[in-house]
DNA sequence: AATTGCCACGGGCTAATACT
DNA sequence: AGTATTAGCCCGTGGCAATT
C-alpha cells in the first residue's frame, strides 16, 4: 500500500539514468562546434545547453495550462460545473471555478510537488474552497516520492506554519495511465475517459482537513468529505472516479517542547497507506 | 532516510527606448 | 504621436544537494 496507487516505471527510470551518463560522456561528439573533447567540456557549451533545455521544460506552462483548460471545459460541457476562468494574468496560475451551487472553488496549479516551489501558494479570500492540482509532465518522475513530499513535507507544514487551509489535492495529468506511469485503475480499460487527444484514467483525489490544524485549539481537525468540496466531487463524477478510490489526508498537530510537530496519515477506503511519526516542522 | 532549501532557468509582463 | 522592439524585473519551476 502506498500514498498513490500508481508508480513510476522502473525500467524507464533505469534507462533514463543510463542515458544521462551517455549524454555526459559523449556529448562532445554532437554538433558542429569544432571543439575537441577537453575544450568542449571546458567551454560551458554542454552545461549551458543542458540548463537551457531543462529550464524550457520546467518553466513552460503552455501544455499544462492547455490540459487543465480541456478538463475544465469538459466539466463545464457536462454540466458538472457552471463556469471557470483563469485568474492567471493578474494573480497566479490559478483558476476560479463557479460551481453549480454558485460557490467559488479556486484551483492552484502545481507541478510535481517535489521542490520548494510547492510551498508557494496563497488561499485567496474569495475562495469557498481551495484545492491544489498537481500536473507533473516529467515521465521519469516518481509519483510516490512526489506525492508524499508534497503532502507531508511541503503542504502540511505550510498549512500549519502559515495558517493556510487547503481543502484537497488532485494528482492528475497526461502521463497518468501511460507506460511511464501505469495506473491500476485501468485494470478495467473501459474506465479510460477520452477528452480531446487525451485518454485518461480517473483522477487521484486527496481530501484534506476541513479547517487549519492548530496545536491548542484544533489538534485533530475533521476531514472534508467529498460532498464538502464541490470541485473535487465534480471531477470525480465527471471523470468516473469511485468513492473507494478517494484518499484522506489526516493531519494531527501538537506541541512537543519548543517544536510544533505533526503526524500525517494517508488513507484509502479506510486503510492506512502511509503515516509519518510526529515530526517537527522545521522552518528557518 | 527524510526533510528542506538552492539555483539556474524561461515565461510573461511592463517600462524604456528606437523607429516610423 | 503612434507603433515596434528591446531590456529588465518578478515569478514559478523541479531536480538534487545540503542538512538534519
Residue A146 within a domain: yes
Q: Is the Cβ atom of A282 within 7 Å of strand C at any atom?
A: yes
Residue A233's pLDDT is 97
Q: Is the Cβ atom of A153 within 7 Å of strand B at any atom?
A: yes
Alpha carbon distance A194, A191 (integer Å): 9
Positive or negative: CA dihedral A192, A155, A57, A33: negative
Distance in angstroms: CA A65, C1' C5 = 28
pLDDT band at A89 (very low <50, low <70, confident <90, very high): very low
A52-66, A150-164, A200-214: lowest mean pLDDT where?
A52-66
Mean pLDDT across A56-69: 77
Q: To the nearest whole percent, how much of chain A has pLDDT over 90?
A: 35
User: Are A253 and A160 a contacting pair, CB within 8 Å?
Assistant: yes
Burial A68-103 (b: 16+ CB within 10 A, else e): beebbebbbeeebbeebebeeeeeebbbbbbbeeee
Q: Could you read off the pLDDT of A20-50 as tens digits, one per residue?
A: 778 777 888 887 788 888 788 777 777 777 7
Q: Is the Cβ atom of A60 within 7 Å of strand B at any atom?
A: yes
Q: Is the Cβ atom of A24 within 7 Å of strand C at any atom?
A: no
Among chain A residues 89 through 108, which have CB within 7 angstroms of nucleic chain B? Answer: 89
Residue A22 within a domain: no
Nearest to A249 by CA among A205, A282, A203, A197: A205
Distance in angstroms: CA A92, C1' C11 = 9
Report which of residues A100 and A15 the model is more confident about.
Answer: A100
Average pLDDT score, chain A: 86
Q: Could you read off the pLDDT of A210-246 as tens digits, one per residue?
A: 999 988 899 999 999 999 999 999 999 999 999 999 9
Residue A284's pLDDT is 57
Residue A29 within a domain: no
Mean pLDDT across A123-141: 86
The boundaries of the domain holding residue A179 are 61-280
Q: Is the Cβ atom of A138 within 7 Å of strand B at any atom?
A: no
Closest C1' nucleotide to A152's CA: B3
Among chain A residues 39 through 58, which have CB within 7 angstroms of nucleic chain B? Answer: 48, 51-52, 54-56, 58
Closest C1' nucleotide to A145's CA: B2
Mean pLDDT across A78-94: 74
Length of chain A: 284
Q: Could you give the angle at which helices A62-77 and A230-238 cross, rounded to 10 degrees? A: 80
Residue A185 within a domain: yes
Q: Could you read off the pLDDT of A166-216 as tens digits, one per residue?
A: 999 999 999 999 888 899 999 999 999 999 888 999 999 999 999 999 888
Nearest to A87 by CA among A61, A62, A111, A106: A106
Alpha carbon distance A238, A243 (integer Å): 13
Residue A80's pLDDT is 97
Whether residue A90 is predicted with pLDDT greater than 70 in this model: the reply is no
Report in angstroms the alpha-carbon separations of A278 from A114, A187, A222.
21, 36, 18
Distance in angstroms: CA A117, C1' B7 = 12
Residue A145's pLDDT is 84
Distance in angstroms: CA A74, C1' C19 = 45
Chain C nucleotides covered by protein, CB below 7 Å:
11-16, 20
| Phi, psi values for residue A106, rounded to 5° | -105, 130
Alpha helices in A154-279 (DSSP H): 157-162, 230-238
User: Are A155 and A132 a contacting pair, CB within 8 Å?
Assistant: yes
pTM: 0.90
Whether residue A85 is predicted with pLDDT greater than 90 in this model: the reply is no
Residue A25 within a domain: no
Residue A17's pLDDT is 79
Work out the number of other CB atoms within 10 angstroms of the CB of residue A126. Answer: 8
Q: How far is CA A136 from the centre of its chain?
A: 7
Mean pLDDT across A1-5: 82
Residue A188's pLDDT is 95
Mean pLDDT across A98-110: 91
Residue A3 within a domain: no
Residue A262 within a domain: yes
Residue A129 within a domain: yes
Mean pLDDT across A142-170: 88
Closest C1' nucleotide to A49's CA: B9
Distance in angstroms: CA A86, C1' C2 = 32
Chain B nucleotides covered by protein, CB below 7 Å:
2-13
User: Are A198 and A166 a contacting pair, CB within 8 Å?
Assistant: no
Q: Is the Cβ atom of A119 within 7 Å of strand C at any atom?
A: no
The domain total for chain A is: 1
Amino acid at each position: 500500500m502506498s500514498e498513490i496507487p500508481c508508480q513510476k516505471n522502473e525500467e524507464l527510470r533505469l534507462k533514463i539514468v543510463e542515458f544521462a551518463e551517455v549524454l555526459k560522456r559523449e556529448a562532445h561528439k554532437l554538433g558542429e562546434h569544432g571543439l575537441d573533447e577537453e575544450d568542449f567540456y571546458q567551454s560551458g557549451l554542454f552545461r549551458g545547453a543542458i540548463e537551457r533545455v531543462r529550464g524550457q521544460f520546467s518553466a513552460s506552462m503552455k501544455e499544462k495550462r492547455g490540459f487543465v483548460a480541456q478538463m475544465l471545459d469538459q466539466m463545464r460541457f457536462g454540466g458538472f460545473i457552471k463556469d471557470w476562468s483563469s485568474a492567471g494574468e493578474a494573480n497566479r496560475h490559478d483558476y476560479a471555478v463557479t460551481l453549480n451551487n454558485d460557490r467559488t472553488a479556486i484551483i492552484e496549479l502545481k507541478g510535481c510537488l517535489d521542490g520548494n516551489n510547492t510551498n508557494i501558494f496563497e488561499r485567496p479570500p474569495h475562495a469557498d474552497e481551495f484545492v491544489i492540482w498537481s500536473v507533473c509532465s516529467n515521465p521519469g518522475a516518481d509519483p510516490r516520492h512526489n506525492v508524499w513530499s508534497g503532502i507531508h513535507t511541503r503542504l502540511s507544514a505550510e498549512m500549519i506554519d502559515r495558517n493556510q487551509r487547503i481543502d484537497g489535492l488532485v494528482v492528475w495529468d497526461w502521463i497518468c495511465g501511460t507506460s511511464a506511469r501505469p495506473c491500476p485503475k485501468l485494470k478495467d480499460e473501459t474506465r479510460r475517459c477520452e477528452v480531446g487527444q487525451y485518454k485518461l484514467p480517473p483522477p487521484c483525489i486527496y481530501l484534506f482537513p476541513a479547517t487549519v490544524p492548530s496545536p491548542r485549539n484544533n489538534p485533530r481537525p475533521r476531514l472534508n468529505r467529498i460532498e464538502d468540496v464541490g470541485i473535487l466531487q465534480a471531477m470525480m463524477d465527471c471523470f468516473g472516479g469511485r468513492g473507494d478510490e478517494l484518499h484522506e489526508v489526516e493531519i494531527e498537530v501538537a506541541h512537543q517542547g519548543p517544536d510544533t510537530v505533526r503526524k500525517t496519515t494517508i488513507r484509502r477506503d479506510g486503510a492506512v497507506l502511509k503515516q509519518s511519526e510526529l515530526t517537527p516542522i522545521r522552518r528557518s
